Amino acid sequence: MSPKKRKREPLGGTELENDAADDGAEAPGLTENPGIPVVASPAEKTMGGGARSGGIGALAEAVKQARARTASSVAEFKYNKKRVRLVSQESELEEGSLGILYWMSRDQRVQDNWAFLYAQRLALKQKLPLHVCFCLVPKFLDATIRHFGFLLHGLKEVAEECQELNIPFHLLTGLAKDVLPPFVTKHSIGGVVTDFAPLRVPMQWVQDVRERLPPNVPFVQVDAHNIVPCWVASDKQEYGARTIRRKIHDRLAEFLTEFPPVIRHPYPSTVQAEVVDWDACFASLQVDRSVKEVRWAKPGTAAGLAVLEEFVEDRLKFFGTERNNPNKAALSNLSPWFHFGQLAVQRAILEVSKHRRRCKESVDAFVEEAVVRRELADNFCFYNQKYDQVEGASAWAQTTLALHAKDKRTHLYTLQQLEEGKTHDPLWNAAQLQMVHEGKMHGFLRMYWAKKILEWTSSPEEALKFSIYLNDRYELDGRDPNGYVGCMWSICGIHDQGWAERAVFGKIRYMNYAGCKRKFDVQRFECKYSPRKLPKQPS
Ligand SMILES: Cc1cc2nc3c(=O)[nH]c(=O)nc-3n(C[C@H](O)[C@H](O)[C@H](O)COP(=O)(O)OP(=O)(O)OC[C@H]3O[C@@H](n4cnc5c(N)ncnc54)[C@H](O)[C@@H]3O)c2cc1C
């Protein structure tokens, strides 16, 4: 007997593309936060420690009030459904279901999360319980304990927040395709909402789940990471910042809005989430533990908001003029929290934009980096399946690199020499060691660093492979569209133009040591990250 349809509530697709609101310690573990062991970092201070306000920061409180002023809940909010796309064939919820599930993946936060909000909206409208799950894979693309530690600490905070909001949080262990569909069936979940990541592994996870979910369960995806949803910003791979910039700016009035709050859920579930033993979970991970967690970046949304607050107060004023100076504290340092979705870029932009009158140049530059460049990276990975291969580059770049493939290299280094920072170039070595020890290389140096790998390895393919390997292994923000695009920009000229032709690089833009010396005090940086001053790492 086919189940009776509940009040028809579509979950995505064309019916939703309608602006109007529808009616519708010592032991590695997580007990201590942040987890240990950690790298003794040379960074001056811990980011996100909340030291200034000793607990909940002024910004966190102001943000809470702003959400509350926006709407009493997402059910009363004019939700822009262009953020949502239908993944399943079925688009309507059936009667008899016992809950809505948000499968959290890229966007690991409760508030300021359009996917979480959409799931709660459905649950409120249907008067159903809301569940959240995260599928923890014990191994992911060579991520190390540096990454998993940050992720798990953040999730622990998510779980605690969910509990306060009467929303069971389920940590499922295994690949989503194996654990999520059985969960849906067992608990009679009526609809599934997930977030969006353009990289091939998470895209495949979504496809696999789609194939295994019961056919009568609608499944939608919400772009909760970008301000302008990736599929709205453009329907094709863009040439560069110059072609996507206007498309994004033209849509900001529509999408750069305040968030309503995720509220305490009024429809409790009879299904209780299993209590997560976070320490056991941490201990059971089968990951490389030699790349240590870092102390300067405290994981979690609260810490991310505190870093945002510090940035706005202390560093934003320098961002416009000093962001290319690695000796100056001018950057936001927010990329780890953005990467793990612990902080919404949209929240950062809403806050930073309030200071345009005080520091226009900085605010405009920050919007360019965090919105235009970042969303361009998502665009590239979404529309180009070869986003991490030389074949993914433009024809002109592939041709010029091929023409110069046999050019004599002045130096050739092995992966191990590069990894240990043992090249002839003290600036490069310092940048490499900054990344190894602190988990974050300065943004300006990332370009120089990757370009030198092209210069000192036997082929562009090898250069790309080494740079992605090192970036993903050591950068806390690694395995991100920004990282693949950063390496592809530096080595394969994507989103760039042809420059004067030279050996090895062909027409790919070149950078050199002398250029860096003109920009900042190179010696000071080299001195700070000299191997003599740093502990031996990784062990
Ligand atoms: C070779 C190379 C590798 C890179 N690897 C990564 C990576 O793995 N993960 C990552 O998030 N970024 C990467 N980037 C982009 C950029 O360098 C970092 O986002 C930035 O340094 C992070 O520091 P921040 O948050 O202090 O940046 P800020 O300068 O404060 O910028 C704020 C935010 O804007 C975005 N942003 C800044 N610069 C860029 C850019 N060039 N492209 C896209 N988005 C940008 C980031 O989300 C960043 O957090 C890479 C760039 C290059 C050239």
**CATH classification of the domain holding 510:** 1.10.579.10
Measure the CA–CA gap between 307 and 528, rounded to whole angstroms.
23
Residue 280 has pLDDT above 80, yes or no: yes
Q: Is 202 contained in some domain?
A: yes
Could you tell me if 272 and 409 lie in one domain?
no
Measure the CA–CA gap between 256 and 346, rounded to whole angstroms.
7
Last residue of a domain, one of 282, 314, 346: 282
Query: In the predicted model, what is the mean pLDDT of residues 245-273?
Result: 97
Report how far ligand 1's centroid is from the alpha carbon of 335 (Å): 7
pLDDT at site 536 = 63
Residue 16 has pLDDT above 50, yes or no: no
Query: In the predicted model, what is the mean pLDDT of residues 427-451?
Result: 98
Ranking 47-61, 179-193, 342-356 by mean pLDDT, the lowest is: 47-61
Q: Is the CB of 432 under 6 A from ligand 1?
A: no
Could you tell me if 263 and 399 lie in one domain?
no
Q: Is 317 contained in some domain?
A: no
CATH code at position 81: 3.40.50.620
Other C-beta atoms within 10 Å of 439: how many? 27
Q: Is 35 contained in some domain?
A: yes
Q: How many domains does the chain have?
A: 2
Ranking 19-23, 162-166, 442-446, 499-503 by mean pLDDT, the lowest is: 19-23
Q: Is the CB of 374 under 6 A from ligand 1?
A: yes
By CB atoms closer than 10 A (0-12, 13-18, 19+), residue 369 is middle
Q: How confident is the model at residue 253 (pLDDT cuts 50, 70, 90)?
A: very high
Protein residue with its CA nearest to atom 39 in ligand 1: 369
Query: In the predicted model, what is the mean pLDDT of residues 8-13?
Result: 48
For residue 262, list its beta bridge partners.
Answer: none
Q: Is the CB of 244 under 6 A from ligand 1?
A: no
H-helix or E-strand spanning residue 294: strand 293-294
Q: Is 384 contained in some domain?
A: no
Q: Is 87 contained in some domain?
A: yes
Flag whether the ipTM exceeds 0.85.
yes
Report how far ligand 1's centroid is from the alpha carbon of 515 (Å): 21
Could you tell me if 30 and 170 lie in one domain?
yes
Last residue of a domain, one of 238, 260, 282: 282
Measure the CA–CA gap between 241 and 248, rounded to whole angstroms.
10
Residue 111 three-state SS = coil
Assign 3-state DSSP to the chain and report helix, strand, coil percentages, each to 5. 45, 10, 45
By CB atoms closer than 10 A (0-12, 13-18, 19+), residue 58 is exposed
Domain span holding position 484: 390-533
Query: In the predicted model, what is the mean pLDDT of residues 290-311?
Result: 97
Query: In the predicted model, what is the mean pLDDT of residues 482-500?
Result: 98
Other C-beta atoms within 10 Å of 31: how many? 12
Q: How confident is the model at residue 534 (pLDDT cuts 50, 70, 90)?
A: confident
Protein residue with its CA nearest to atom 22 in ligand 1: 335
Residue 35 has pLDDT above 80, yes or no: no
Query: Tokens in use for 229?
Result: 């949803």
Q: Is the CB of 443 under 6 A from ligand 1?
A: yes
Q: Is 305 contained in some domain?
A: no
Could you tell me if 269 and 394 lie in one domain?
no
Query: In the predicted model, what is the mean pLDDT of residues 209-235?
Result: 98
Report how far ligand 1's centroid is from the alpha carbon of 244 (Å): 18
Residue 324 three-state SS = coil
Could you tell me if 230 and 100 lie in one domain?
yes
- 449 Cα nearest atom in ligand 1: 1
Ranking 25-34, 163-172, 175-184, 353-362 by mean pLDDT, the lowest is: 25-34
Q: Is 159 contained in some domain?
A: yes
Portion of the chain with pLDDT greater than 90, in percent? 85
In terms of Cα–Cα distance, which of 332, 333, 306 is closest to 434? 333
C-alpha 126 chain-centroid distance: 31
pLDDT at site 33 = 37
Q: Is the CB of 478 under 6 A from ligand 1?
A: yes
In terms of Cα–Cα distance, which of 164, 121, 112 is closest to 342? 112
Residue 27 has pLDDT above 60, yes or no: no
Q: How confident is the model at residue 302 (pLDDT cuts 50, 70, 90)?
A: very high
Q: What's the whole-model pTM score?
A: 0.93
Residue 377 has pLDDT above 60, yes or no: yes
Report how far ligand 1's centroid is from the alpha carbon of 196 (Å): 19
pLDDT at site 209 = 98
Could you tell me if 396 and 519 lie in one domain?
yes
Last residue of a domain, one of 282, 305, 338: 282
Query: In the predicted model, what is the mean pLDDT of residues 526-536?
Result: 83
DSSP letter, residue 25: -
Portion of the chain with pLDDT greater than 70, in percent? 89
Report how far ligand 1's centroid is from the alpha carbon of 118 (Å): 28
Q: Is 338 contained in some domain?
A: no
Beta strand residue intervals within 96-244, DSSP E: 99-104, 130-136, 169-173, 189-195, 219-222
pLDDT at site 3 = 34
Report how far ligand 1's centroid is from the alpha carbon of 446 (Å): 9
Q: Are 184 and 174 in contact (CB under 8 A)?
A: no
pLDDT at site 15 = 30
